[in-house]
């Protein structure tokens, strides 16, 4: 994201437009809607633009641009038909640290005009940073079709009673109250034009909500999948947008985390080898404490929370404390990474079963049923097996698995940084070191790995 979306208050503020033609007029219309005081510098001026300047109590400076015209401006738009003049305006404005927009020249802008969906005081800006304005307008048209004109009246009502709601309801209850207002009978009455009835219903409900006991929060234990945000479930995404606070771990990709509600508090509780930012017991208690405060808490985990995710421990603590919770499964790393690497976990010719195994070293060793794991006709998937890779390969070979059994390491699977390194039980440990493979990495062992080269479809 190159441009930070902001809402700029220009009401009664001096804004300067350099240029007097049709493009300048379009920009002036937007500034006029926001109540700006518009001044124009140009040798000639279009009739509508002249009227906008007059209506806003601005001034037309007839003639060519000079830097002195910036003295009183708080925002500048360069919209002349002379590219050299536009570039000079940009340079002068930036030297004075004034926000400047140069039409059709995003490289000279410090801000751009988005495509705007407007419903009274509710405005939605869609910006491509000047790169694809036609696409931004198409998206605006789609949003226009979704929002009814009645939304503007609902915004006006919220503005009138916002301070009263803030005064009369505690913070833990306010968000739930407003969600009820915007999704319930108040919004329905506003949509049908029953404005007085809607306001009366809201105020009656506010009185009722004052007498309610403090709400108990809820915890959403959500699987964030292996990394690609397209693999999230609809339910996961919906709960991610509802949460007041999110506790997330190291395996949650930045792209997935980006989909969490923007104003939610974020708490990192990730773990990595030899370092736990927050002990598991503290995480369990933190979930209880936050929910007790009436908050909707999102516990976001990479993969699936019930497959090597310690999700069972966390909801056990919640159940003991009487905290409501939901569990949303996610695509586990074995399924997601194997799919994106073109490695089917089962295949009629290679494997009739699959086993998920933790490769995490405990006190420097792996205590696993090696003879069972070395049996033919199965696929082995090791989570957290990178540190113990040499031990895994050696033990499986010692217990009868052929040394040329194919093995794959999938680093950062399903993301744009995905790498797949393929070798055998004897060669893979050295390959992992040579290729500087880093966690998170999944290890897949078995005949199905031989299909990778033929079936590999994902190219990051």
CA distance 342 to 460: 13
Q: Binding site annotation covers 21?
A: no
Q: Binding site annotation covers 323?
A: no
For residue 246, the surrounding DSSP H or E stretch is strand 245-248
Q: Binding site annotation covers 403?
A: no
Active site residue 301: no
CA distance 460 to 119: 41
Q: Is beta strand 75-78 parallel, antiparallel or unpaired with respect to 265-268?
A: unpaired
Q: Binding site annotation covers 197?
A: no
CA distance 223 to 70: 53
Considering the candidates 244, 249, 295, 317, report the single residue annotated as catalytic: 249
Q: Binding site annotation covers 303?
A: yes
Tokens of 296: 């909707």
Considering the candidates 82, 197, 271, 289, report the single residue annotated as catalytic: 271
Q: Binding site annotation covers 23?
A: yes
Question: How many angstroms from the chain centroid is the CA of residue 399?
Answer: 47
Active site residue 9: no
**How close are the terminal C-alpha atoms of the chain, in Å?**
20
CA angle 272–273–276, rounded 5-degree value: 55
Strands (E), 265-336: 265-268, 271-272, 275-276, 296-301, 325-328
CA distance 411 to 192: 55
The CA-based dihedral angle spanning residues 325, 326, 329, 333, taken in that order and rounded to the nearest 10 degrees: -30
State the angle between helix axes of 150-168 and 171-183 in degrees (0 to 180), rounded to the nearest 10.
160
Burial per residue of 333-348, b for 16 or more beta-carbon CB atoms within 10 angstroms, e otherwise? bbbbbbbbbbbbbebe
CA distance 89 to 102: 8
At 419 the three-state DSSP class reads strand
Q: Binding site annotation covers 22?
A: yes
At 367 the three-state DSSP class reads coil
CA distance 257 to 262: 10
Going by the DSSP 8-state scheme, the letter that residue 108 receives in this structure is G
Q: Binding site annotation covers 226?
A: yes
CB 58, CB 72: distance < 8 Å: no
Tell me which residue of 78, 74, 73 sits closest to 90, measured CA to CA.
Answer: 78
Q: Binding site annotation covers 302?
A: yes
Binding residues: 22-23, 43-44, 226, 302-304, 307, 332-333, 384, 413
**Binding site listing for NAD(+):** 22-23, 43-44
**Residues designated catalytic:** 249, 271
Q: Which residues are annotated as a binding site for S-adenosyl-L-methionine?
A: 226, 302-304, 307, 332-333, 384, 413
């Amino acid at each position: 994201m190159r441009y930070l979306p902001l809402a700029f208050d220009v009401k009664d503020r001096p804004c300067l437009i350099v240029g007097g033609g049709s493009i300048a007029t379009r920009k002036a219309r937007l500034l006029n809607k926001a109540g700006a005081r518009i001044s124009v510098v140009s040798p000639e001026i279009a009739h509508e633009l002249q009227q906008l300047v007059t209506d806003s109590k601005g001034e037309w400076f007839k003639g060519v641009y000079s830097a002195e015209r910036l003295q009183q401006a708080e925002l500048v738009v360069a919209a002349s038909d002379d590219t050299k003049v536009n570039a000079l305006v940009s340079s002068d404005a930036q030297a004075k640290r004034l926000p400047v927009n140069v039409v059709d020249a995003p490289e000279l802008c410090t801000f751009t005009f988005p495509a705007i969906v407007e419903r009274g005081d509710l405005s939605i800006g869609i910006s491509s940073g000047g790169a694809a304005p036609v696409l931004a307008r198409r998206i605006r048209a789609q949003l226009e079709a979704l929002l009814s004109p009645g939304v503007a009246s609902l915004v006006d009502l919220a503005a009138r009673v916002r301070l009263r709601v803030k005064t009369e309801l505690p913070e833990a209850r306010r968000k739930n109250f407003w969600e009820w207002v915007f999704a319930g009978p108040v919004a329905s009455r506003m949509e049908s034009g029953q404005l007085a009835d809607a306001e009366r219903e809201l105020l009656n409900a506010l009185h009722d909500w004052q007498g309610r006991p403090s709400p108990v929060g809820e915890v959403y234990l959500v699987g964030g999948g292996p990394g690609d945000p397209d693999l999230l479930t609809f339910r996961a995404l919906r709960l991610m947008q509802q949460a007041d606070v999110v506790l997330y771990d190291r395996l949650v990709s930045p792209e997935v985390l980006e989909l969490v509600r923007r104003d939610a508090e974020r708490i990192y509780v990730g773990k990595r080898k030899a370092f736990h930012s927050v002990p598991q017991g503290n995480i369990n208690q933190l979930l209880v404490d936050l929910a007790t405060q009436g908050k909707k808490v999102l516990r976001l985990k990479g993969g699936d929370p019930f497959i090597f995710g310690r999700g069972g421990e966390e909801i056990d603590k919640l159940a003991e404390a009487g905290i409501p919770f939901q569990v949303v499964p996610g695509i586990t790393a074995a399924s997601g990474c194997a799919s994106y690497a073109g490695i089917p976990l089962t295949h009629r010719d290679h494997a009739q079963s699959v086993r998920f195994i933790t490769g995490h070293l405990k006190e420097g060793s792996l205590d696993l049923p090696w003879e069972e794991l070395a049996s033919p006709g199965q696929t082995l998937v090791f989570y957290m097996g990178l540190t113990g890779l040499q031990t895994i390969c050696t033990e499986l070979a010692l217990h009868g698995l052929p040394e040329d059994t194919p093995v794959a390491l999938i680093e950062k699977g399903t993301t744009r940084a995905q790498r797949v390194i393929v070798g055998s039980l004897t060669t893979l440990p050295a390959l992992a070191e040579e290729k500087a493979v880093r966690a998170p990495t999944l290890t897949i062992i078995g005949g199905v790995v031989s299909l990778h080269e033929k079936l590999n479809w994902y190219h990051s």
